[in-house]
Amino acid sequence: MVNSPAPSSNDVKTHHESVGAWAKRYYFANRAAIESVLRPYGIGTTQWYVLYQLANDGPTIQRDLGQLLHLERATLSGIVSTLVRKGHVEQVPGATDQRQRVLHLTKAGRKLWEGLPDPIAVIGATSLQDISEAELATAVRVLKAATQRLNDYMADGDRT
Amino acid sequence: MVNSPAPSSNDVKTHHESVGAWAKRYYFANRAAIESVLRPYGIGTTQWYVLYQLANDGPTIQRDLGQLLHLERATLSGIVSTLVRKGHVEQVPGATDQRQRVLHLTKAGRKLWEGLPDPIAVIGATSLQDISEAELATAVRVLKAATQRLNDYMADGDRT
DNA sequence: GTGAATTCGTTCGTTACCTAACAAATATCG
DNA sequence: CGATATTTGTTAGGTAACGAACGAATTCAC
């Protein structure tokens, strides 16, 4: 796309746009691919992550799950109620703290989980093969650093 | 970050998850930051891209705009009608082909555009400073290659 | 030149993300 | 103890993305 002459300072914006643009495209392509694997089972990508957590780490407080998956309370609330409606997850008030909701798989939920393919393995393997460990590490480092900056920026901006 | 022992096959999943996970987090952090810049003006990120196109390249057929911005017809349709509702954009049937819609800025839309900051410049500059050109290029290359793979995978899967 | 295929935009249903505002429960401080 | 703050989850409203199905316009084939 952007062929590579000596990058002038004018290229900065182009580069920036590229990382952002490609992060977006990769995110959505990845999501679409995962969803195509999961579609026959009637669950979405983020719903899968919730089931994954509950299946592997057992009952979890909704608040903690939100932090683990980097989701806002409101977002998780909707996803959980979808899973509850479908009968895969049960949501019970916490024993000591009545505000909290403890989530755990229902029997049906566990059964579903056991029949589920692992979309990360299926999709991830195809999408990243032939990319060296070093390149992967660089990509992650860049994405991580940039995300960090943005979060700092937002935190600052809020306080001002 | 990811220190580099001989990568066992168990690392594969971890790495894959990381690129996907970080692409997602960067995408949303970026979007949130851009939206915070644009919020006072009452427009969203993708709406800004539409205005950008119309301001710089003049009237455009909706179909072409979709390809430029990598958006499906259905997605763009909603975004355009939001901009039309707000009075920034006008959507007129094509002269030669009555199926097509030609989009152009209204007078109010152009005025808005002229008072708008450039969120890509503002946000991109902060988020990617101190990252070398080489690293940026690698990140883009990885994201691009992975996206390519996923698109191929989806195309194959559809035909099967 | 007419019937079939294609293209373009819209609408509908779904997923997933956010903020803001709110209610209930719990914690903290005077 | 009791008023005030904080935490947890939900709801409502907004943005953005997708696929499927549809109608209208156009193009293609024969």
Tell me the residue range of the domain where B61 lies.
21-119
- Amino acid in the structure at residue B46: T
Question: Same domain for B62 and B104?
Answer: yes
- The size of the A-B interface in CB pairs under 8 A is 191
Terminal C-alpha separation, chain B: 40
Residue A38 lies in a domain: yes
Residue A110 lies in a domain: yes
Sheet holding B60-61, edge to edge: B60-61, B101-105, B89-93
The total number of structural domains in chain A stands at 2
- Per the prediction, chain A carries an average pLDDT of 88
**Contact (Cβ atoms closer than 8 angstroms) between residue B70 and residue A25:** yes
Q: Residue B42 belongs to a domain with what CATH number?
A: 1.10.10.10
**Contact (Cβ atoms closer than 8 angstroms) between residue A152 and residue B126:** no
Say whether the CB atom of B85 is under 7 angstroms from strand D.
Answer: no
Interface probe for A, chosen from B27, B71, B118 (most Cβ of A below 10 Å), is B27
Q: How many angstroms separate the CA of residue A137 from the nearest CA in chain B?
A: 7
* Alpha carbon distance B40, B26 (integer Å): 23
Instruction: Burial-class residue B93 by CB neighbours within 10 Å (0-12, 13-18, 19+).
Output: exposed
State the nucleotide closest to B100 in CA–C1' terms: C8
Alpha carbon separation from B70 to A29, B50, B67 (Å, rounded): 12, 12, 5
Chain C nucleotides with an atom closer than 7 Å to a protein C-beta: 7-21, 24-27
Q: How many angstroms separate the CA of residue A101 from the nearest CA in chain B?
A: 26
Render each residue's pLDDT in chain A as its tens digit; 160 residues: 444 444 444 444 454 458 999 999 999 999 999 999 999 999 999 999 999 999 999 999 999 999 999 999 999 999 999 999 999 999 999 999 999 999 999 999 999 999 999 998 888 888 888 898 899 999 999 999 999 999 988 887 655 4
Question: Same domain for A83 and A140?
Answer: no
Question: Same domain for B28 and B105?
Answer: yes
State the nucleotide closest to A100 in CA–C1' terms: D8
Q: How far is the CA of A151 from the C1' of D10 (A)?
A: 26
